[in-house]
Amino acid sequence: MALRSIAVLIITILLEIQNLCISAAISRADFPNGFQFGTATSAFQYEGAVKEDGRGPSVWDTFSHTFGKISDFSNADVAVDHYHRYEEDIQLMKDLGVDAYRFSISWSRIFPSGSGQINQAGVDHYNKVINSLLANGIEPYVTLYHWDLPQALEDKYTGWLSTEIIKDFSTYAETCFQKFGDRVKHWMTFNEPHTFTTQGYDLGIQAPGRCSILFCRAGNSTTEPYIVAHNVLLSHAAVADIYRKKYKNIQGGSLGIAFNVIWYEPATNTQKDIEAAQRAQDFQLGWFLDPLMFGDYPSSMRSRVGNRLPKFSPSEAALVKGSLDFVGINHYTTFYARDNSTNLLGALHSAIADSGTIALPFNGTKPIGEKANSIWLYIVPQSMRTLMNYIKQKYGNPPVFITENGMDDPNSIYIPIKDALKDEKRIRYYNGYLSYLLASIKDGCNVKGYFAWSLLDNWEWSSGYTSRFGLFYIDYRDNLKRYPKQSVQWFKNFLKPTK
């Protein structure tokens, strides 16, 4: 055997030993004092009760009731009925042993028309949820916008495509600070702006379903994603300015955004693919976090998108830069990135194609890791550590919360409940990702908390009910009964306080 082959073998064995050490049994006690563990949910996926207590319709109500948009033809009119069962679900969290609960407020429950008259019944509901959480020793982490734009604003001025939304979103956010900020100390203005920007306005596969490259009734994939993203950033900055000037000193809270981040590995060790992986990240996380940290979009976006990419005025750049108190990261999986040298997609001039990369969970026919249920979700736990170190090095080690992390199993009528509750793969997933998260903290990464997605099986957007992400199984055929999966006991053991 050649010396090079022996060296590669030795390195491989050493890495495997390191991986085994990292993936050994871990517990809450291994993490720093004060580290927060919780579960995450969103209003539209959980609450149901879409026409109760004065709630107005959202773009997702419209989208989910449009034929062919949801894979199983379902909708979230009932979802998992969390609106009526929140006390039961909070008790499940308390029994689990979590410190915190991340949930979103439905904008159209507070302002049924997106602006104007406040709906007191909506305010009352979230006051009851927050008070119940605190009474059970669970800290609320609140997302203001988890994709459910009031339909009235989409009809009035095309929602996020108009700068008018900055004022309406600011009014909504400030109302939440006024009504709930005495008890809520952790706010996220947006969940996954990259996701709803690209999938809602580039590919058209999420609400409001706009695009120009597929079967959409309206849209422009070459410009609209960038306009939407720009208005989202300006909306966040306006809200952060209001919070810091009027509420932060009194209420003592903090404000962030939850970003979706696939980690990208170069498909080969060629310079082209290494650069492609960085571009893929620039067009995902960098698109939003670079302006918030540095005051402008990544240079790769400026050069490749040109005048289709909006510009910040000096005053806007100053307002956007530094407007985050913490960085939320929703991390599930890892893809290979390859340079798009053939330019097969480049002629489309969409936000997906503009990066000049092809990103897939395969390298040839070899998958990057074990597959979960979703076609995009492969299990690559070591990337959690790599990603945390990337954020530490590029962005100056800001405070980070893992605001979502989890995996799904299929929902099938042919899988008996007793078998569906045996979710060993999910236990391996959580153990692996938490182990590498702990390793990143030991590397010096400034990680403050972790939220598992999700507490319950729920309605998964365009996948409907075909996908089960929950720690608790929902029986959709028997009054939405909640059953603990084996991962619940694993988390109970993991979160058990040391004596």
For 383-399, the pLDDT digits (tens) are: 999 999 999 999 999 99
Nearest to 138 by CA among 182, 163, 103: 103
Model pLDDT, residue 499: 59
Model pLDDT, residue 437: 98
Model pLDDT, residue 215: 83
Asked about 224 being catalytic, the answer comes back as: no
Nearest to 96 by CA among 423, 490, 425: 490
Question: Is residue 242 within 8 Å of residue 170, measured between CB atoms?
Answer: yes
CA distance 391 to 448: 14
Model pLDDT, residue 6: 55
Q: Which helix (H) or strand (E) holds 257?
A: strand 254-260
Model pLDDT, residue 28: 97
pLDDT in tens, 16-59: 444 444 446 899 999 999 999 999 999 999 999 999 999 999 99
How sure is the predictor about 15, in pLDDT bands with cuts at 50, 70 and 90? Answer: very low
- State how beta strands 366-367 and 357-360 pair: unpaired
Question: Is residue 382 within 8 Å of residue 19, measured between CB atoms?
Answer: yes
Q: Residue 77's Cα: distance from chain center in Å? A: 22
Model confidence at 76: pLDDT above 80:
yes
CA distance 222 to 352: 10
**58: DSSP letter:** B
Catalytic residue among 154, 192, 224, 316, which?
A: 192
pTM: 0.94
The dihedral sign for the CA sequence 404, 402, 150, 47: positive
Model pLDDT, residue 25: 83
pLDDT in tens, 231-274: 999 999 999 999 999 999 999 999 999 999 999 999 999 999 99
**401: DSSP letter:** E
The chain-wide mean pLDDT, for the chain, equals: 94
Model confidence at 219: pLDDT above 80:
yes
Model pLDDT, residue 367: 97
How sure is the predictor about 498, in pLDDT bands with cuts at 50, 70 and 90? Answer: confident
The dihedral sign for the CA sequence 383, 321, 228, 258: positive
CA distance 281 to 260: 11
How does DSSP assign 381-399, residue by residue?
Answer: THHHHHHHHHHHHHHT---
Model pLDDT, residue 343: 55
Question: Is residue 492 within 8 Å of residue 93, measured between CB atoms?
Answer: no
Model pLDDT, residue 218: 96
How does DSSP assign 273-334, residue by residue?
Answer: HHHHHHHHHIIIIIHHHHHHHHSS--HHHHHHHGGGS----HHHHHHHTT--SEEEEE---E
pLDDT in tens, 200-209: 999 999 999 9
Mean pLDDT of 473-487: 98
pLDDT in tens, 378-437: 999 999 999 999 999 999 999 999 999 999 999 999 999 999 999 999 999 999 999 999
Model pLDDT, residue 118: 98
Model pLDDT, residue 349: 67
How sure is the predictor about 8, in pLDDT bands with cuts at 50, 70 and 90? Answer: very low
CATH number for the region 28-495 comes to 3.20.20.80
Model pLDDT, residue 94: 98
How sure is the predictor about 310, in pLDDT bands with cuts at 50, 70 and 90? Answer: very high
Model pLDDT, residue 26: 95
Q: Which helix (H) or strand (E) holds 188?
A: strand 186-191
Question: Is residue 257 within 8 Å of residue 188, measured between CB atoms?
Answer: yes
How sure is the predictor about 352, in pLDDT bands with cuts at 50, 70 and 90? Answer: confident
Model pLDDT, residue 351: 84
How does DSSP assign 102-150, residue by residue?
Answer: EEE--HHHH-TTSSSS--HHHHHHHHHHHHHHHHTT-EEEEEEESS--B
Question: Is residue 180 within 8 Å of residue 142, measured between CB atoms?
Answer: yes
| Dihedral angle, C-alpha 19, 21, 24, 30, nearest 10 ° | -110
pLDDT in tens, 320-351: 999 999 999 999 999 999 999 765 544 556 88
Nearest to 105 by CA among 47, 170, 166: 47
Asked about 154 being catalytic, the answer comes back as: no
Residue 6 makes CB contacts below 8 A (sequence gap 6+) with none
Question: Is residue 305 within 8 Å of residue 223, measured between CB atoms?
Answer: no
102: number of Cβ within 10 Å: 30
Model pLDDT, residue 497: 81
CA distance 79 to 90: 17
Residues of the chain with pLDDT > 70: what percent?
93
Model pLDDT, residue 7: 45
Model pLDDT, residue 341: 74
Mean pLDDT of 78-98: 98
Mean pLDDT of 171-181: 99
The number of CA neighbours under 13 Å toward the Cβ of 422 is 4
CA distance 225 to 351: 7
Domain range list for the chain: 28-495
Nearest to 333 by CA among 298, 392, 293, 284: 284
- State how beta strands 472-475 and 366-367 pair: unpaired
Model confidence at 13: pLDDT above 70:
no
CA distance 457 to 407: 11
Please state, in angstroms and as integers, the Cα–Cα distance from residue 14 to each residue in 10, 21, 347, 368, following that order. Answer: 6, 11, 45, 20
**What's the chain's Rg over C-alpha atoms?**
22
